[in-house]
Amino acid sequence: MVAGHPFHVAFDGIATHLGGRSSSGNDDDAPADGEPNPMANRVAEPDNADSTLADEITKYVYSKRTIYNNNAGIEESIDAGYTYSELDNYRARTKSGNGLTVLSEDAVINEYLGAPRRSAPDAALAVSATSDNLDLWPPVWDQDVRIGVIGGTGLYSLDGLNVIETLAVETPWGQPSGPITIAETERGHKIAFLARHGPSHSVLPSEVNYRANIAALKALGVQAILAFSAVGSLREEISPGDFVLIDQIIDRTKGVRADSFFTGTGVTAHATFGEPVSAGLRALVARHAAAVPDIAVHTSGTGVCMEGPAFSTRAESNLYRAWGASVINMTCIPESKLAREAEITYAIVCMATDYDAWRESEEPVTVAEVMHTMKGNAANAKTLLLALLPDFEDAVYNDSAKALMRPEAGSMQYAFQQPPEKQSAAGRATLNFLFPQYFTV
């Protein structure tokens, strides 16, 4: 992405918050009895605060409780007993409503707020909210993050990598499933990791904000995504524990998921989707199958994406087998479609957990069966990822021809049917978040 592209982001564990004195007197968001008061011990807003910040700073988050404020100012809102990991970031928005670009947490505090990070929750901090220390606002996201990993059921974190930041990003389509972890490889490259169902698996497949997930990764600069997903096997030869690198998808969702960035924008566009998964990225993953010798890695197959959350009936499972499908899951649509719209190279590793419901000789799949297999699947997924990362990094960072990403890069250039003057101005402003090269504002 271009440095300085605006989006709304917060850092996990930030120790200062943007906000101000409440002008409404509304206590709807006040803490319940017995809870620490997030407004206690604050630094009062200085008299010379820049009044133009009043519309720019809209909210901040404190200890997983959102307090809304409309006035400018910077305040201390830390109670004794709270640690940085328990404080839940700040959130802020520019006056234009486009959100914030970001630098690192310490850079925000040191460079823009003019104060060092505190070493203890109750340490004193005095910060002035004048235009002198906010004239460089908003800070700029300057990290080079080109690889994204989306974890499915059982895969909620990355091992073997150096975690450097955790970001909470807001997009025009809302917030993603959870915070995005930025990790660094041994070679110094950055990877963005997102748990599709949230870090505690609290989001059902139909409730995942797929648009925000893909948009947030795109905003961070991601050009290629390797996703992981738990699936049911529709073939005898695909045993529970095996991995399948599907190359085709059958959409059996029911139209309840927001499946296009263009819906509601007044801009019509049609992405090509004949080959829904990147052949190059599938091949790259397949080259490292030997890293997980105890399982089979099937290098092609057709995946069915059902709505869920209930599993298939036996009749449905046999219908999908008759169609020639290999595995079934609940999430590859619209995730893969949105990645294509966003011009992101995408492949998915399907991790078989069960035989769905087609086998007459055994009971249909249960959650207990899925979770029993997922522990081993998650370990194998992490092993496979670490093994393929050097090749993945070379393809994304070191190949001057960018052959891996070439099929998707620029693929939406001729997908728009209306001339710019016929497109909705509001829609163009929204789509500028993803496509600044196509939609100028």
* Helix or strand (DSSP H, E) at 95: none
**How far from 427 is each of 264, 287, 421, CA to CA, in Å?**
8, 42, 12
Report d(CA 299, CA 371) in Å as an integer. Answer: 24
Q: What is the mean pLDDT of each run of 10 residues along the chain (441 residues)?
A: 43 31 37 40 36 31 25 31 29 31 36 32 25 33 88 80 89 94 93 93 95 96 97 96 98 97 96 97 98 98 97 96 98 98 98 93 78 88 96 95 94 93 94 93 78
Alpha helical stretches, state H, 203-345: 210-220, 279-286, 314-322, 332-341
pLDDT (0 to 100) of residue 336 = 98
Please name the helix (run of DSSP H) or strand (run of DSSP E) that holds residue 402, with its range, or none: none
From residue 5, how far is each of 221, 229, 270, 282, 433 by CA, in Å? 10, 31, 25, 30, 8
Active site residue ranges: 354, 356
Dihedral Cα 150, 153, 154, 155, nearest 10 deg: 0
Distance CA 262, CA 407 (A): 21
Residues 108, 101 contacting (CB under 8 angstroms):
no
- Beta strand spans in 246-295 (E): 248-252
Q: Write down the pLDDT at residue 159.
A: 82
Question: What backbone torsions phi and psi does residue 395 show, to the nearest 5 degrees?
Answer: -65, -35
How distant, in Å, are the alpha carbons of 18, 23, 250 from that of 128?
11, 20, 57
CA–CA distance, 355 with 328 (Å, rounded to integer): 10
145 has which bridge partners? Answer: 190
* Distance between CA atoms of residues 150 and 217, nearest Å: 10
CA gap 14, 324 in Å, rounded: 51
Residue for token digits 């393809």?
Answer: 395
